[in-house]
Amino acid sequence: MKNHAVLTFIFAMCTMMGALGIDTYLPSFHAIAQEFGVGPTAVQQTLSVYVLAMAITMLFYGTLSDTFGRQRVLIFSATGYALTSFAAAFVTSIEGMVAIRFCQGLMAGAGMVVVRAMVQDKYQGTDAQRMMSMVMFCFGLAPALAPIFGGWLQAHGGWRAAFFFLSAFGVVLALLCWRALPETLPREKRVPLKLRVIAGNYLIALRNPQFRLMVIGLALMAGANAIYISSAAEFIMGVLKLSETAFGWLFIPLIGGSMVGSAISGTLAKRIAPQVQKTIGYSCLALGCASNVLYHLFTDMPVVPWAVLPITVYTLGIALLMPILSLQIMGMFPQMRGLASSLQGFAQMSVFAAMAGLVVPHLFHSGLALALGQMLTVGLGMLVWWWSTHHVAKKNKSA
């Protein structure tokens, strides 16, 4: 039981790595803009390039872990994350910040991808679902607390303090992975690093139309979260007219719904059918998005807590769905779990990067615009997933 708790804790910390790099410095957006003499859109790009870099490397970290082992890849990633975070604290221009944030994102992409593969290595069926739910529950603490802690760091140490903290986190995580994380992929099960074979495996997955659509559908449903995360500074300080230390009003309800959903998913894993849990999850997505639009449609002055409660319902729904749908995607290629996890992570972070860099700058001036963006993204994702698991799946079976 003790080893299980330690493993869950390290898994959760690994998945936190990417999220902390997003959330901790959000309260510092205005301070960074002021120091470098740029507008909010320019600072927004420091977030979008970070997420884009994560998306790119997620294509490879899973495959590299299939070849070199899970533990080595995580140690490398955490060490690089610590070094690039430390370097970010010393940049002197917005161009330098964008460049180092891209490098930081390259290091941050391993966590969730490799952990998903490790869970599949070690657990099966409902046990895997329960572990993924526990990891997501613990992981939820980071995005909930990071912006609050980041606001405190900004108020007392300036924006550079956030990156010193991220560097220290990377050091601690690298040491934990080195000393306490067991390797879950035996040498005899590793895939040789043959580029032709690896490229062929990617083509096998990408040529499967059902797999492609499932990955895109889940990425859109989960990626709607990016609308509020990447617009947090403007939403809190612009739309809601709150201070730089008030980010908890968004992130505690946002992540609270995710943590409750993950806890419920883990509890229900052996008690109700996955289809029933999925129905509840989809219902929460629809209710959260619809109530969000209706609230902002009928008010000119959005206030807490009413402006954030619908977001909580949405995150509850996606947390109920994520463990089941993720395992369903990876189950399509049981011999290439790392690769399947990489493609899933790449799709989700690509959607996040596109939202943060291209969509959100056109939405964050208005609570209603953000709500409509969330609803349209979730609706499209649900439609794509339904099409993949009903129409395309039936077509493949008949063929």
Chain segment 133-159, per-residue pLDDT in tens: 777 766 667 766 788 888 889 988 999
- 184 lies in some domain: no
- 3-state secondary structure (DSSP) of residue 90: coil
Q: Which pLDDT belongs to residue 184?
A: 86
Q: How far apart are the first and last CA of the chain?
A: 47
Q: What is the CATH number of the domain that holds 377?
A: 1.20.1250.20
- 23 lies in some domain: yes
Closest CA to 203 of 343, 337, 55: 343
- 204 lies in some domain: yes
- 185 lies in some domain: no
Is this prediction's pTM over 0.85? Answer: no
In whole angstroms, what separates CA 122 from the centre of its chain? 22
Q: Which pLDDT belongs to residue 115?
A: 87
Q: Which pLDDT belongs to residue 335?
A: 72
Q: Which pLDDT belongs to residue 107?
A: 94
Extract the tokens encoding 79: 């060490």
Q: Which pLDDT belongs to residue 393?
A: 56
Q: Which pLDDT belongs to residue 76?
A: 95
- 186 lies in some domain: no
Chain segment 13-58, per-residue pLDDT in tens: 898 898 899 889 988 988 999 999 998 888 988 988 998 898 888 8
DSSP of 253-304: HHHHHHHHHHHHHHHHTTTS-HHHHHHHHHHHHHHHHHHHHHHHHT-SS--T
- 107 lies in some domain: yes
Q: Which pLDDT belongs to residue 346?
A: 83
Q: Which pLDDT belongs to residue 353?
A: 80
Given a contact cutoff of 8 angstroms between Cβ atoms, the answer to whether 348 and 219 are in contact is: yes
- 187 lies in some domain: no
* Domains: count for the chain: 1
Given a contact cutoff of 8 angstroms between Cβ atoms, the answer to whether 149 and 166 are in contact is: no
Q: Domain of 225?
A: 2-179+192-398
> Contacts for 391-397 with beta carbons within 8 Å, 24 or more apart?
392/209, 392/210, 392/213, 393/210, 396/209, 396/210
Low-confidence residues in the chain, pLDDT < 50? 1
